[in-house]
Amino acid sequence: MKKQCVIIGLGFFGMTVAKNLEDKGIEVLAIDKDMVNVEKASKFVTKALCMDVTDFDLMDNLPLSDFDFGVVAMGESIAVSVIACMTLKENGVSKVIAKAGSKMHSKVLTKIGVDEIVFPEEYMGEVIADNISKE
């Protein structure tokens, strides 16, 4: 059975994850509240939806339990991020990965059971420093 991933938030990080997953043959449902981002993603993902993830009625109508992975790719609003992560977890997404914008955000995500928390900027800072130190 083909892997499936739902990605919430289609900024630079979420869009990059979505594109790379599709390139690897993983089906992607991409969600964002900005129609411009949804239209961009719709060119390469399996399905793209424009919706507000804080609308529980809309989210509850999605077959989220069908997804192996969920990526919450927004770190600016802790409240929206937490709601998105909680919704994925409560609806049976097997593994939830979330971008955190701060250490406090990370602590909250840990408390609600997010499986993996990432700090993309911090990670790339470490990679670049490592690369420079090796030259």
Q: Where along the chain do its domains lie?
A: 4-134
- Asked whether 31 and 7 are in contact (CB, 8 A), the reply is yes
pLDDT on residue 123: 87
Report the mean per-residue pLDDT for the chain.
94
Does 1 score more than 80 pLDDT? Answer: no
For 102-125, the three-class secondary structure string (H helix, E strand, C coil) is: CHHHHHHHHHCCCCEEECHHHHHH
Q: What is the CA radius of gyration of the chain?
A: 15
Answer whether residue 2 shows pLDDT above 90.
no
Supply the pLDDT for residue 124. Answer: 86
* Angle (CA) 59 106 76, round 5°: 60
Top pLDDT among 126 and 6 is at 6
Kindly state which CATH superfamily the domain 4-134 is placed in: NAD(P)-binding Rossmann-like Domain (3.40.50.720)
Mean pLDDT of 19-44: 96
Q: Does position 28 have pLDDT exceeding 80, yes or no?
A: yes
Least confident interval from 8-22, 23-37, 93-107, 121-135: 121-135
First-to-last alpha carbon distance for the chain, in angstroms, is 44
- The SS3 assignment for 76 reads coil
